[in-house]
Amino acid sequence: MESSLVIELLIGALRMAAIFAGPILLTVLVVGIVLGALQSATQINEPSVAFVPKLVAVMLVVAITGGTTLGMFVDYVREMILRIPAAVG
């Protein structure tokens, strides 16, 4: 297997990982910052106060973007399966 093919496959895998994890991580980041500011302003230091809104936000993001990312993942896997003969031979 050529090194350029390996690098191309690695870049594609990292891109797919960023596409999947990006919206969820950004949502948790924004919700965490907002909740941290609210908790510091109100001096409420209960962990469940921060956990539940983050969980709800992540579920909403997955519900909104899940179909699109699943379609992209299926296309990516299909492309990788079709490339197996070229990579082996």
77-80, Cβ contacts within 8 angstroms, sequence gap of 24 or more: 80/9, 80/12
Pairwise CA distance, residues 81 & 70, whole Å: 16
Give the tens place of pLDDT for each residue, 43-63.
888 888 889 999 999 999 999
Residue 44's pLDDT is 82
As a whole number of angstroms, the distance between CA 5 and CA 70 comes to: 24
Handedness of CA 55, 56, 62, 63 (dihedral sign): positive
Read off the pTM.
0.77
Which two structure tokens, joined as six digits, stand for 36?
């941290």
pLDDT digits (tens), the chain, 89 positions: 678 888 888 898 999 999 999 999 999 999 999 999 998 898 888 888 889 999 999 999 999 999 999 999 999 999 989 988 877 76
Which pLDDT score, from 0 to 100, does residue 47 have? 80
**pLDDT at position 49:** 82
Q: Mean pLDDT score of the chain, rounded to an integer?
A: 90
